[in-house]
């Protein structure tokens, strides 16, 4: 749909501009749900300062294809209007925005559900990998079982 976006990039994004683009020129849209993910300064269970920096690797080509598939699946499940997905790659610092998902729809239920669905599937199906810089050196982030469970609750099997 016009106004849809899937963008993998190093640069930051403007949350206000992206959210405005979800409904610009679309008077049938009555609801917008957005999610913004940030780089944290700690791991799960760790203290502040445990993560000094982060770098993100991805699989160019497959990333875009996987995200397009996820958006298409969301469209099959809910009556939504526009979907914009931005994911940053490269070097990031704590506090940086890392991912944006925005969904517009006629009513709030579809936008809320589709936004969460896209994030849950992105977490388990889009080929991104985080590497943290810690005081003890660099380490690849382990996948979390809770992310698999979040994707599985939608049915259809998160991988």
What crossing angle do the helices spanning 62-77 and 108-125 adopt, rounded to 10°? Answer: 150
Would you say 20 or 143 has its CB closer to another protein? 143
CA distances for 51 relative to 37, 85, 119, 146, angstroms: 16, 25, 23, 21
Which residue's CB is nearer to another protein, number 3 or number 37? 37
Using rule CB under 8 A, residue 91 touches another protein:
no
Binding mask 5-44 for another protein (x = CB under 8 A): --------------------------------x-------
In the chain, where does DSSP find H-type helix? 15-23, 62-77, 108-125, 145-152
DSSP class of 114: H
Q: List the one residue from 27, 142, 153, 155 that touches another protein (CB under 8 A).
A: 142
Q: What are φ and ψ of residue 81, in 5° steps?
A: -100, -80
Segment near another protein (CB under 8 A), from 10-18, 19-27, 106-114, 142-150? 142-150
Q: Minimum distance between the CB of residue 6 and another protein, rounded to whole angstroms?
A: 13
Of 114, 139, 98, the residue nearest 34 (C-alpha): 114
By CB under 8 A, name the binding residues for another protein: 37, 56-59, 61-62, 65-66, 87, 98-99, 119, 122-131, 140-143, 147, 159
């Amino acid at each position: 749909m016009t106004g849809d976006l899937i963008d993998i990039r190093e640069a930051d994004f403007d949350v206000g501009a992206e959210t405005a683009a979800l409904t610009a020129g679309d008077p049938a849209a009555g609801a917008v749900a957005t999610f913004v993910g940030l780089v944290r300064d700690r791991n799960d269970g760790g203290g502040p300062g445990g993560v000094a920096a982060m770098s993100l690797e991805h699989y160019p080509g497959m990333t875009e294809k996987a995200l397009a598939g996820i958006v298409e699946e969301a469209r099959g499940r809910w009556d939504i209007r526009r979907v914009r997905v931005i994911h940053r790659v490269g070097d990031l610092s704590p506090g940086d925005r890392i991912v944006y998902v925005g969904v517009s729809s006629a009513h709030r239920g579809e936008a809320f559900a589709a936004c969460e669905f896209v994030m849950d599937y992105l977490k388990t199906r889009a080929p991104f990998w985080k590497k943290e810089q810690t005081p003890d050196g660099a380490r690849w982030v382990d996948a979390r079982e809770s992310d698999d469970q979040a994707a599985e609750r939608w049915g259809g099997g998160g991988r």
